[in-house]
Amino acid sequence: MTALKGNRTRLQTSTSSDRFVYVLAIPLAFILLVYIVVPMIATLLTSFQSGGDVYRDFTSGTSKSALILSVLISLGSVVTSGIVGTCLAVLLTRFRFPGRGILKIVALVPLGLPPLIGALSFYYLYGSSGILPRAIASLTGLPAQAVAFDGIAGVMLVHTLTMYPYFYLSVSAGLAGSDASLEEAAMNLGSSRARMWRTVVLPMLTPALVSGALLTFMVSMASFTAPQFYNVNTLTMRIVAAKTSGNYELAAAQSTVLSIVSILFLLTMRWYQNQRSTRSLSKGTPQVATPLTGAWARVAAGLCSLLIVLTLAAPAATIVLLAFTVDGTWTTQILPPQYTLQNFVDIASNPRSLRPILVSSQMSLLAMLASILIGVLTAWVVARWRGRGASVLDLMIMLPWALPGTVVGINIVTAFASPTPFNLGQVLVGSLWILPVAYFIRFVPLVFRNAAASIAQIDPSVEEAAQNLGATPWRTLRTVTLPLMARGVIAGALLAFIQGFGEYVASVVIYPARFTPLSVEIYNRQYANELGSAFAYGALQMAVILIVLIISEVVQNPRPHRDKR
Amino acid sequence: MTGVSLTDITKDYGSGIPSVNSLNIDIADGEFFTLLGPSGCGKSTTLRMIAGFVSPSSGQIRFGDRDVTRVAPHKRDTGMVFQNYALFPHMNVATNVGYGLTTRRIRGDEKRRLVAEALEVVGLSDYADRGIGQLSGGQQQRVALARALVIDPSVLLLDEPLSNLDAKLREETRGHIRRIQKESGTTSVYVTHDQAEAMAMSDRIAVLQDGVLHQVAEPREIYRCPATAFVARFIGRSNVIDGTVEDVDARYCTIRLDSGGVLRAPRAARTSGDCPTPGESIAVSLRPESLAIGPANSSDAPAAGSLRARVKSVEFTGATCTVTTQVGESEVLVSVPDSNTLPQQGDDVDLTPSPEKIWMVNR
C-alpha cells in the first residue's frame, strides 16, 4: 500500500505527540476512575441497597432539617464573609492609612490556620466558656452566655472570619486589575463618586463576587469542624453520626445528596468562569490608593485597623497562648492560670505523643508524591489533548475539590471495604494506606490546578522546538516541560502537604484504630480536657504551615534574577 | 543535504475549506525557498507539515528519497527557527544551542566545539553563559538560528523569524541569514508575509492564497511576470485592470478594458504561455513605473495604445512621485520621477504603457 493511498481516506490525522498524549491519558483516566469516580458510585449504590427508602429521611426526618440548616448557614456565611472580605479589599486596595501594611499581612492569617485547631480557638475565644465572654461577664456582670457566640452564631462567626479571604482575594485582584481610567471616565462624564461605584466598579467586580460567593457556599456546605464543636446538626454532622451509629445506608444517601449539591456548584462555577473567560484585562491607567488626610481621620483609621488586626490575629494568638497552659488547670478563670513548656517537651520526648505527628507527616508526604505524579501528568494531558477527553479528565480530577471531606471519607469507606473488581481487590478500611489514599483524593486537585496554571504559561512552541531538535515526546516532557512547571508544581504540592498534615474531616471518618492522625489526636486530647497538649500540637501545626508557606513563597518568587545552570 | 518535495498535499482541519489545497512543490537541494502570502494563506501550516507538527490530510512529503509523511517530528532532522524563537527559558545560551546535539548523542568536547562554532557564526561567542532573559530580541533570534544550524539539519525551516525585530535590525538580519545559509548550503524553507523580505532573500518564491498555490518562480520573474491578478497585486504595487481579448494577431493581442480604453500586449506576455483567444476574459497588470504620463492630446480619444485619465491626486514620496489617476471606473497609479512639470489635480492626461511591460494575468 502506498502511503499516498492510505492517507487519502483520513481527514483527521494524528501526529506522534498526539499519540503520546493518548498513551498517558489511559493510565491516568484509569487511576482517577478507580480512586475518584468508582467510590462516588459505590456510595450511590450503597444508598440504594434497600431500594432508596433512606431518602425518605429527606422529606420528613432529620436529614431534611439538616439540609435546610446547612443551606441557610451557607447562605448566611456567603453574606457575612462577603461583606467582611469586600470591605477589607476595598479598604486595602483603595486607601492609604496608618496600619495598612500590617493589616494587609494579617488579612491572610485565616488561610494559615489549621482547620481543626482554628475552629477550636474560636470556641475558646468567643464561646460561652471562652476568654472574651468571661471577661465581659466579669466587667459588666452579665451572664457569659448572653455575650457568647454559641450554636449557630458560633458556626457563623467561625465561617465569617475564616472564609472572608475567598472574597478578599478575588475582590482585591479584581480591584487591582481594573483600569483606573474607566472610573476617571465615569467621573469625567459627570457621575458622582457613589454613582461611579454603583455603575462602573460594582459591575466590574461581579465576576469576583460571584466566584467568591460560590466558593464560600461550597466550603460552608462542607464545613464539619465548626458544627462539631458548637454541636450544630448540619448535614455533614448527620453523615458522621449515621456512619458512627452503623447506618451506612443513610450516611451514603446523605453523602450522595451533599455530593450532588456540591458538584452542581462546581459545574456552575466552571460554567460561569468560562462565560467570563473572554473578558479582556486592559492595561490602562494603574490604580492609585487614596491617602487619608486630616489628623482625626488618620487616628480613627489607625484605631480601627488596630482593632481589625487584633480581631483577625486573635485566633492564632489564642492557639499559641493555650499551647502553654497546664492540662486541666483552666476551669472558670478568664485566662488560663498556669503556664508551662512541658506540653512541647512531652511531644518531643514521648514516643506516644510524637506518633500522631509522624503518622500525619508521613502519610501526607506519600499523598503529596502521588498527587505530584498524577496531578502533573494529568495537567499536561489536559493541556495538550485537543479532544473532548481533555475536559472529561479535567472534571474527573477536579471532582474531589467540590466534595466535602466527610463525603470523601464515606466514599472511600464504602468503596474499599471489601475486595471487588472495581477497587482492584484493594481493602483499605482498617489499613494504614487508607490515609494517604484519602489525602491524595482530597488534595490532588490542588496540585493539578497549580500544574495546569504553570503549563498555561508555557509557550507550546518551546515543546515543538525540543521535538524539532530531535527530542522524543517523553524526553521533551522531561527536559523542557517539567522543569518549566517545577516552581508552580512545588508550590501546589507544598500546599497539598500542609492540608494533608492538618486534615481532620475525612480522617475522622476513616482513620484506622492504631494510627491516629495529628488532627484526630488533637480532638481526642481536647475531648479528654488535655487542652494544653491539644493546642501545643496546634501551635506546631501552625509553625509547619508558616515554614511551608515561606518555602513556597521563596520557590515561586526567587530573589536572584536568574540562577545559572 | 536533501531537497524537499510536497506531492498533492492537502490539510483540512475539518471545516470543509482546506487550509492547504493540493499543494505540489519541489524544493531543490541547497535552495533558499520562500513560502509567501498574507496571513491565513496556509504557509505556516505547510511549514509545520514539513516539520511534522501537523499531519497532512492527504499527500506525501519527501526529503530526498525518504518519505517522511508519517515520520515523527523528532526523527525528521529538520532545524526550525520559530517566530517567537521558542528558546528554552530555563537553560542558558550554550545549553539551548547544545540541546539538539545532546539528543543526537553528541557530547563532551565535540559538543562544546560545535556549540562554540555555532555561536561564533552568529556573533554571540561571549554570551554562552547568559540566561535567555538577559538577551535582546535580536540576540535571541540569533541564538534560535544557531540552535537550528548547529545540528546540521537536512532542512532548515524558518517561520517568520524576523517579524519580531524592528525594521533596521530586520534588514541587517536577513542579509546575515542569507549569508549563513549560502555558506552552509542547507536547503531552507522560509515563511514570510513580507514580499520585500521574500524578494531580497529567496532563490525561489511560492505565492499562496487561501491554501492555493498561485505561482512558483524566481523573485525577478514573480515581479515581472505574475501568473495571477493576486500575485501581481501582492508583489510590489500594480494596477490590475479587467478586460476582454478582442483580437489576436501574429505578435500582439488587443484587449478592451472594462473601464474603457484599448491596450495592446505581446501575445506571449502571459505566464502560462497559452495564447489568449478572442472573447476570453482576462486582466492586465501595469506596474506604476512602466506607465508614461503626458498631457491629453486635443482630440476626444487618446492615441492607440494609450489610456485617457484624470489626475485625482499627486503624492510626493521622495525620489519619485505617485500620481493617482482615474481611468473610467478604475484607479490607476503612476510612478514618475520628481520634476517641476508634474500634472496637477484635475488635469486630463494620457497614460502610455510600454508594450513589453504589459503582462496578462488570469482574473
Report d(CA A402, CA A264) in Å as an integer. Answer: 9
Q: Do both B209 and B138 map to the same domain?
A: yes
Question: Comparing B78 with A293, which gets the higher pLDDT?
Answer: B78
Same domain, B142 and B252: no
Smallest CA–CA distance, residue B51 to chain A, in Å, is 7
> ∠ at Cα A81 (A79, A86), nearest 5°?
95
Confidence class of residue B8 from pLDDT cuts 50, 70 and 90?
A: very high
- Is residue B219 located within the same domain as residue B322? no
> Is there a single domain that holds both residue B190 and residue B109?
yes
A13/B56 CB distance under 8 A: yes
A461 touches chain B (CB under 8 A): yes
- Positive or negative, the CA dihedral A256, A257, A258, A259 is positive
CATH of domain A340-385+432-558: 1.10.3720.10
Contacts of A12 in chain B (CB under 8 A): 14, 57
ipTM above 0.85, yes or no: no
- Identify the residue with better confidence: B97 or A338: B97
- Under 8 Å CB-to-CB from B65, ≥6 apart: which residues? none
CB-side neighbour CA atoms (13 Å) of A29 = 13
* Helix-then-strand count for chain B, H and E: 8, 20
- Domain end, chosen from B224, B245, B260, is at B224
| Whether residues B174 and B66 fall in one domain | yes
pLDDT at A462: 93
Q: What is the pLDDT of residue A467?
A: 92
Alpha-carbon gap: A487 to the closest alpha carbon of chain B (Å)? 11
Tell me what pLDDT residue A565 has.
37
Given B209, B224, B239, the domain boundary residue is B224
> Is B276 found in the same domain as B179?
no
Average pLDDT over residues A414-425: 80
pLDDT of residue A211: 83
* Cα(A270)–Cα(B82) distance, integer angstroms: 34
Task: Express each pLDDT in A43-67 by its tens digit.
Answer: 888 888 887 788 888 887 788 889 9
A231 interface with B at CB cutoff 8 Å: no
Q: Could you tell me if B242 and B190 lie in one domain? A: no
| CB neighbourhood size of A101 (10 A) | 11
Residue B240 in 3-state DSSP?
A: strand
Contact (CB<8Å) B74/A471: yes
Average pLDDT (B112-120) is 94
Closest C-alpha to A393, from A312, A458, A451, A475: A451
Q: Which three cell numbers stand for residue A81?
A: 464573609
With cell 457569659, the residue in question is A144
CA distance A279 to chain B (A): 25
- pLDDT tens, position by position, A356-386: 999 999 999 999 999 999 999 999 999 888 7
Give the pLDDT score at A444: 92
Write out the residue range of the structural domain in which residue B42 sits: 4-224
* Among chain B residues, CA nearest to A470: B74
Tell me, what's the pLDDT at A278? 43
What is the CATH classification number for the domain harbouring B334? 2.40.50.140
* B210 and B235 belong to one structural domain: no
pLDDT at B294 > cutoff 80:
yes
Q: In this predicted model, what pLDDT tens digit does every residue of A307-321 receive, in sequence order?
A: 888 888 888 889 898
**Which of A93-107, A352-366, A435-449 has the weakest average pLDDT?**
A93-107
Please give the average per-residue pLDDT across B91-114, as a whole number: 92
- Domain count within chain B: 2
Residues of B with CB below 8 A from A14's CB? 55
For residue A274, the distance in angstroms to the closest alpha carbon of chain B comes to: 24
Q: Does A16 touch chain B (CB under 8 A)?
A: yes
Task: Choose between A420 and B125: higher pLDDT.
Answer: B125
Q: Do B123 and B236 sit in the same domain of this protein?
A: no
Q: How much is the average pLDDT of A405-418?
A: 88
What is the per-residue pLDDT across A203-256, written as a single tens digit (0 to 9) for each? 788 888 888 888 899 889 989 989 988 889 999 999 999 888 888 888 888 999
As a whole number, mean pLDDT of residues B289-305 equals 81
Nearest to residue B46, comparing CAs of B34, B28, B32?
B34
Average pLDDT over residues A83-88: 92
Q: What's residue A372's pLDDT?
A: 94
Does the pLDDT at position A560 exceed 70? no
Do the chains contact at A13 and B55, CB–CB below 8 Å? yes
* Rounded Cα distance, A499 and A368, in Å: 10
**Residue A15 at interface with chain B, using a CB cutoff of 8 Å:** yes
How many contacts does A have with B, using Cβ atoms within 8 A? 121
Quick one: B200 and B247 in the same domain? no
pLDDT above 50 for A8: no
Q: DSSP class of residue B70? A: T
pLDDT in tens, B65-99: 999 998 989 999 999 999 989 999 889 999 999 99
Statement to judge: residues B137 and B27 lie in one domain: yes
Residue A198 confidence (pLDDT): 80
CA distance A314 to A263: 34
The average confidence (pLDDT) of chain A is: 84
What band does A150 get if pLDDT is binned at 50, 70 and 90? Answer: confident
Identify the pLDDT of residue A206: 83
d(CA B31, CA B189): 8
The residue out of B195, B224, B253 marking a domain boundary is B224
The minimal CB distance from A467 to the residues B8, B59, B73 is found for: B73
Query: What is the per-residue pLDDT for A469?
Result: 93
pLDDT at site A96? 83
User: Is 0.90 topped by the overall pTM?
Assistant: no
Residue-level pLDDT at B192: 95
Using the predicted structure, report yes or no on whether residue A425 has a pLDDT greater than 90.
no
Q: Based on the fold, state whether residues B81 and B206 are members of the same structural domain.
A: yes
- Confidence bin at B202 (pLDDT 50/70/90): very high
What is the Cα–Cα distance from A415 to A45, expressed in whole angstroms? Answer: 10
SS3 content of chain A, % helix, strand, coil (to 5): 75, 0, 25
Pick from A469, A479, A564 the residue to mutate for testing the B interface (most B CBs within 10 Å): A469
